[in-house]
Amino acid sequence: MTRHPPLCRIVAAMLLVPILCLSGCATGPERDPADPLEPLNRATFRFNDTLDRHVAQPVARTYNRVLPRFVRTGVENVFANLGDVTVMLNDFAQLRLMDGMNDLMRVAVNSTFGLLGVLDIATPAGIARRDQDFGLTLGHYGMPTGPYLVLPLFGPSTFRDATGFAVDQYGSPVTYAQPAVRNTLWGVDFVSTRARYLNATDLLEQAALDRYLFVRDAYLGRRRAQLNTDKETPLPDYGKEDNAK
């Protein structure tokens, strides 16, 4: 049985044909040079938005209503702890040895004293969480971002970050679980993350005249900030208040 992450193959299959078809004709004199595939990206953005409104948001709101806050926090902590493994690998890949040791200590503390990550013991103990991925590792070594790209289901990215996302799947412990367990964990992680950022959707609706441009510029700006400084720039924690709606 193959161990290759099926999500990566699905994304590649969905993207390959339209990219090849549109890459030669999607440019224009008024188009942002960072987004030469804007017609394709806008179509994918509309698809993702429709799926989000009719499927993801209702499921996320139900999740918030059914589960108490302390349970949702425990779920978030478990997936954050699993994500720290990938962060650790990328810090070591960038030769950020102290940061990598910090990540290793986080995983060790939260996996043992934190009951497999259900409790975040490391943060109150002063072991800070970092945010790294293979897209940033490629950028660290000089690989350009490439064009902006909206991935079906996964949202904003670039050619470099999409490549990094695929590689990061090989560093994630979830990838190597049995298929039924792995797919369940992916689903729970998706619902948990969407539920946490329900308030971000409301803010986006109020703040943006063109939501596509707002999301694109915010994503590219944040990625530049992450690459160009050692200080982390985390997304606002829209989950601070109870999002049950």
Give the residue carrying structure tokens 């990566």. Answer: 8
Give the residue carrying structure tokens 């915010």. Answer: 218
Confidence of residue 30 (pLDDT cuts 50, 70, 90): low
Q: Summarize pLDDT for 97-132 with one digit per residue, the tens.
A: 999 999 999 999 999 999 999 999 999 999 999 999
Structural tokens at position 57? 């948001």
CA gap 49, 242 in Å, rounded: 23
Higher pLDDT pick, 238 / 175: 175
Q: Would you kindly state where each structural domain of the chain is located, as residue ranges? A: 36-62+133-235, 67-132
Residues contacting residue 194 through CB under 8 Å, at least 6 positions apart? 52, 56, 57, 59, 60
For residue 234, pLDDT over 90 is answered with no
